[in-house]
Amino acid sequence: MSCTYTYPQWIDSRVTTIKEKFWFINRDIQSVDLKTESEYKGRVLLYDYGGNYSSVRISDLRQSDSAQYQFRFITNQPGGRYTGSPGVTLTVTARPDLQVHVTRSSSCRNSNCVQVELRCHSSCRLPDYYKYTWFKKRHEIQSETSSSYSTSFSSEDTVSCAVKGYEMFSSPPVFAPMVPSVSFSPSGEIIEGSSVTLTCTSDANPPVTKYTWYKRGKNQLQSRGEGQQFVLSFINSSDSGSYSCQTENSLGLKMSEYVYIDVKYPPRLPSVSVSPSGHIVQGSSVTLTCTSDANPPVTKYTWYKEDEDSPKASGQNFTITDFRSEHSGNYSCEAQNSRGRQNSTSHLIVVSDKTFIQYSLPMNIIKVMLVGLLPIALIFLTVWKRKKKTQNMSTGLNPPENMVLQSDPDYVNVSALKSVTAAKREDSQEQESVM
């Protein structure tokens, strides 16, 4: 801003000299040299080449610099104070605030991109004859000068615009979402039963319009919800796993890296197995094994026998060699990690006698055979005795054979023969009695 001025060289034979000159803002208060005001410090430069001319330069203009500026000089003469009127009215407006708006978008065919139509929009109303410059990946597109621009847009592209001739004042670029980041709170160890909040953030222009949460399964992604935040209330062990979020705007979408949620919990109810299973033979060796699911894993196993206060052993396996009857009883184990401890149910171990196991089966078989065969043997013996008796009786009742008496001197004594026959009959009856 500049000012030319005149003043009387002589007053009452006195030569007029200028004692002071400066620029100020007309605020209807005491005039203050512009160079001394704090908000103008370093931005005001006064040009005075002598004569009746003065100019001031204000750099780095701001909207707050809008005001009425005046020039004043003071001479050595009485009442020698002169002010230029009405001064210079300065109006500072904001530079055109350019924005690229997406007016239409659609997916490209067989490609990971979108077909978009963009428009360069200004906060100020610009004349229709203004031309525009478009930039893609910061490179100027020479063929485009209108306020609209259609292009195939990939997830790595950036597009901005500017009024031609004012390329240094280009708009912020538009782009698809950048790779999102996922955070969760509270940070640190996640305990079963607590609540965890996952938050997804991603830089994008236009801003992200959709957030989708996924949990990685065995063979596919499982959709778990939408929204910038995802809350797992009363979390349990099944919620452990890898989570990611997908962000989307009108120019594309992007998936975050996975974050792992590790839910800590105390040991579950332990189970006890016995080897060998079945009957425990006296003198043999028996191994008891305790297993329990826990996170972090079980760090200590302790074995107890019912009605005994002191633990029997420690470790996941408990082996009893030379098992005897006094070892029989109920056994249980306790599993422990940093989150807590849990006891198993009791497991009964009973020793069996070895001799009984080896011989009880044959003796039973013999008893069954004796009970079943004894009546048969008795019947057979009775039949045999009756048959034998019948045979003996038949032999004793046969009439004596006819004998021919000859005139041989050696005769047969009939009475003696009868005595022999009677004797045989008595012997036969005696034998039957003995039997």
Domain spanning 2-90 has what CATH number? Answer: 2.60.40.10
Q: pLDDT at position 428, please?
A: 44
389-406 tens-digit pLDDT? 666 555 554 444 444 334
The band of 266, judged by pLDDT with boundaries at 50, 70 and 90, is very high
State the amino acid at position 331 in one-letter form. Y
Distance separating alpha carbons of residues 379 and 376, to the nearest angstrom: 5
Is the pLDDT confidence value at 328 over 50?
yes
Q: Give the lowest-confidence range in 100-114, 188-202, 310-324.
A: 100-114
Q: Give the lowest-confidence range in 66-70, 81-85, 365-369, 400-404.
A: 400-404
Is the pLDDT confidence value at 321 over 50?
yes
Fold classification of 181-264 is Immunoglobulin-like (2.60.40)
The band of 128, judged by pLDDT with boundaries at 50, 70 and 90, is confident
Q: Count of CB atoms within 10 A of residue 353's CB? A: 13
Does this model's pTM top 0.75? My answer is no
H/E stretch holding 430 reads helix 414-434
Q: pLDDT at position 355, please?
A: 38
Q: pLDDT at position 205, please?
A: 95
Q: Give the lowest-confidence range in 91-95, 180-184, 427-431.
A: 427-431
User: Strand, coil or helix: what is 309?
Assistant: coil
Q: pLDDT at position 331, please?
A: 92
Q: pLDDT at position 434, please?
A: 36
Distance separating alpha carbons of residues 129 and 334, to the nearest angstrom: 86
Q: Which CATH number fits domain 98-175: 3.30.565.10, 3.30.450.20, 3.40.50.360, 2.60.40.10?
A: 2.60.40.10
Q: 159 or 144: whose pLDDT is higher? A: 159
Is the pLDDT confidence value at 378 over 90?
no
Which CATH superfamily includes the segment(s) 271-352? Immunoglobulins (2.60.40.10)
Q: Give the lowest-confidence range in 3-12, 120-129, 332-341, 389-398.
A: 389-398
Residue keyed to tokens 């065919």: 109
What is the per-residue burial (b if ≥16 Cβ within 10 Å, else e) of 378-403?
A: eeeeeeeeeeeeeebeeeeeeeeeee
- 221 token code pair: 């992604």
